[in-house]
């Protein structure tokens, strides 16, 4: 269980997080979604003792992160954004040191290490130097390390950033498996598909505040069922419809081309956070590896390809 109570972080001239409150029950996979600089990593850093909150607090399984610091730290495992493994040590040495940091006995470390490496499919690499592992293996090892001491809570800070689509899906499967074992997971990501695929609930964060929070399905439904992306000049905008029929009947006045597709979580995100006209670099969408692709990408906005369908040519000019 994670309970965040008016957690705030101010830097000299910046309010990085503004009195955020949340309650995440045991076993939930909660995704914290937002563009770069929204306050995602700041939240995780404060929850995991890497950054001191300016005000407010949080409880991890009833332990106050500000008062019961060491007990609170024993409750979670952390997979940070940057790979922070000891590259010059072996896989097993990394896990052993982690086990010692978390008060595990030698016997416990040995037993758990064998289980956890098998769990993340790295059993064959026990004695390999970490620097010889691939990016995906390192990510899986970081997850294994975070799970070594069997924490009730797992913090994943952008766990698939920089990984290719296949490896990303492998990590997703692992995260699902961990959640199904009863672990509470707090995930930050700016890959919309990741949150949509994995999370029970999603919070949209913008400029240090939670804009909205709900299940991915409810957030999507608020936008409508179908969308049309219109490209006009160098601008892409999107219109939403309650039904496919309504969308198909849409009279696309003056548009050069447009694409019909299902509404996805990214639409909800853009609508809620007002990021519709931000440059694509502000907000990254993972490559639509399994949904097919759609045409109509432009410099403005970027949309996932859930159920997209090109309807080029169905335009009408004035």
Partner 1 sequence: MLHGMTAIYTREILLLRRRLPKQIPSWSVSPLLYLIAFGYAMGREVMVDGQPYMTFLIPGLVAMSSMTQAFAIASEINVARFYWHIFEEFQAAPISNLSYVLGEVMAGVTRAILSVLVILLLGALFGVTLSLNPYFWLAVILNAFVFASLAVALAMLVKSHADQSMLTSFIITPMAFLGGTFFPIAKLPIWAQKILYFLPLTHAATAIRSAALNLRVEWMSYGILLIIGMVFFYIAVFCVEKAKD
Binding residues (CB under 8 A) for partner 1: these are: 48-52, 69-71, 73-74, 78, 80, 82-89, 93, 96-98, 100-103
Q: Which residues contact 105 (CB under 8 A, 6 or more apart)?
A: none
Rounded CA-CA distance 51/11 in Å is 11
Q: Compute and round to an integer the Cα radius of gyration of the chain.
A: 22
- Which residue, 8 or 48, has its beta carbon nearer to partner 1? 48
Rounded CA-CA distance 78/188 in Å is 12
Least CB distance to partner 1 at residue 63 (A): 10
- Which residue, 74 or 126, has its beta carbon nearer to partner 1? 74
- The phi, psi pair for 170, rounded to 5°, reads -65, -40
Biggest CA-to-CA distance, the chain: 77
Least CB distance to partner 1 at residue 48 (A): 5
Least CB distance to partner 1 at residue 248 (A): 51
- Which residue, 87 or 181, has its beta carbon nearer to partner 1? 87
Q: Which of 228, 203, 207 is nearest to 218 (CA)?
A: 203
Least CB distance to partner 1 at residue 258 (A): 45
- Which residue, 96 or 190, has its beta carbon nearer to partner 1? 96
Collapse the DSSP code of 93 into the 3-class scheme (helix H, G, I; strand E, B; otherwise coil) and give the result. Answer: helix
Token pair 């499919």 is found at 121
Cβ-defined contacts of 297-300 (< 8 Å, 24+):
297/236, 298/231, 298/234, 298/235, 298/236, 299/234, 299/236, 300/234, 300/235, 300/236, 300/237, 300/276
Least CB distance to partner 1 at residue 16 (A): 11
Least CB distance to partner 1 at residue 89 (A): 6
Least CB distance to partner 1 at residue 5 (A): 20
- Which residue, 89 or 211, has its beta carbon nearer to partner 1? 89
- Which residue, 11 or 256, has its beta carbon nearer to partner 1? 11
Exposed e or buried b per residue across 194-205, where buried means at least 16 C-beta atoms within 10 angstroms of its C-beta: bbbbbbebbbbb
- Which residue, 101 or 173, has its beta carbon nearer to partner 1? 101
């Amino acid at each position: 269980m994670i309970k965040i109570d008016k957690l705030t972080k101010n830097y000299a001239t910046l309010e990085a997080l503004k009195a955020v409150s949340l309650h995440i029950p045991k076993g939930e996979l909660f995704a914290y979604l937002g563009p770069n600089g929204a306050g995602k990593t700041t939240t995780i850093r404060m929850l995991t003792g890497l950054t001191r909150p300016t005000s407010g607090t949080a409880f991890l399984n009833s332990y106050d992160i500000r008062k019961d610091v060491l007990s609170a730290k024993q409750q979670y495992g952390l997979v940070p954004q940057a790979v922070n493994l000891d590259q010059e040590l072996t896989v097993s040495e990394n896990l052993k040191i982690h086990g010692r940091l978390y008060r595990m006995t030698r016997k416990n470390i040995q037993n758990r290490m064998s289980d956890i490496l098998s769990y993340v499919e790295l059993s064959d690499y026990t004695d390999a130097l970490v620097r010889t592992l691939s990016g995906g293996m390192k990510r899986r090892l970081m997850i294994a390390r975070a799970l070594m001491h069997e924490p009730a809570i797992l913090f994943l800070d952008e766990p698939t950033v920089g990984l290719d689509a296949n490896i990303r899906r492998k990590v997703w499967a692992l995260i699902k498996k961990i959640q199904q074992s009863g672990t509470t997971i707090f995930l930050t990501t700016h890959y919309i598909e990741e949150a949509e695929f994995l999370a029970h609930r999603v919070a949209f964060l913008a400029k240090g505040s939670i804009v909205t929070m709900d299940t991915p399905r409810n957030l999507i439904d608020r936008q409508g069922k179908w969308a049309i992306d219109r490209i006009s000049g160098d601008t892409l905008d999107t219109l939403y419809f309650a039904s496919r029929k309504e969308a198909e009947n849409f009279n696309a006045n003056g548009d050069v081309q447009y694409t019909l597709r299902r509404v996805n979580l990214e639409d909800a995100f853009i609508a809620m956070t007002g990021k519709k006209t931000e440059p694509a670099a502000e907000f990254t969408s993972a490559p639509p590896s399994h949904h097919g692709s759609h045409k109509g990408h432009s410099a403005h906005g970027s949309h996932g390809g859930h159920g997209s369908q090109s309807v080029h040519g169905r335009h009408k000019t004035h």
